[in-house]
Amino acid sequence: MMRALPLRLAPGQDLRAALDGIIAEHGVDAAFVLQGIGSLSVARIRCAGRDDALELHGDTEILTLAGTLAADGMHLHISVADAQGQVLGGHVERGCIVRTTAEILVALLPDYRFRRVQDAASGYRELLVEEKKR
């Protein structure tokens, strides 16, 4: 059973930090960010193959936001467009600051547990999906 949780973040909030507490706050072990739109005044995005984040200052529109939320970590991707319509996407890092609004739909999954475990093949902490026994 999935439970929908619509959120609205206010100006000045850190996008990643705001999503960090959702799991504990709602008493679940797994959630998905299904989609998000809005705007950022600062976008910190880590692109594929990079260790450091790109930092964009100025008005950007959130085109897409999606990912997984677990007690031991999250994996969020975002695409944003700047004032000229140039699009950039990658991993959401701390420091993505909401400009006017962020409207986000989270799916809480009470029947599942998400954990991040080291994966020998990828070299990264990857998602482990476990169904809770009833």
Q: What is the count of structural domains for the chain?
A: 1
* Cα–Cα distance, 69 to 115 (Å, whole number): 9
* Cα–Cα distance, 107 to 123 (Å, whole number): 28
Tell me which residue range forms the domain holding 75: 3-111
- For residues 73 and 125, the answer to whether their CB atoms sit within 8 Å is yes
What token pair was written down for 128?
A: 């482990």
For residue 110, which phi and psi values (nearest 5 degrees)? -65, -20
pLDDT of residue 49: 84
Residue 11 lies in a domain: yes
pLDDT in tens, 3-25: 999 999 999 999 999 999 899 99
What CATH number should be reported for the domain holding residue 93?
3.30.1330.80
Residue 124 lies in a domain: no
pLDDT at residue 134 tops 90? no
Residue 62 lies in a domain: yes
Length, in residues, of the chain:
134
Residue 126 lies in a domain: no
Strands (E), the chain: 3-9, 31-46, 54-70, 73-81, 87-92, 97-108, 112-118, 125-131
Residue 8 lies in a domain: yes
Residue 93 lies in a domain: yes
Residue 73 lies in a domain: yes
pLDDT in tens, 54-108: 999 999 999 999 999 999 999 999 999 999 999 999 999 999 999 999 999 999 9
Q: Which amino acid is at 54?
A: L
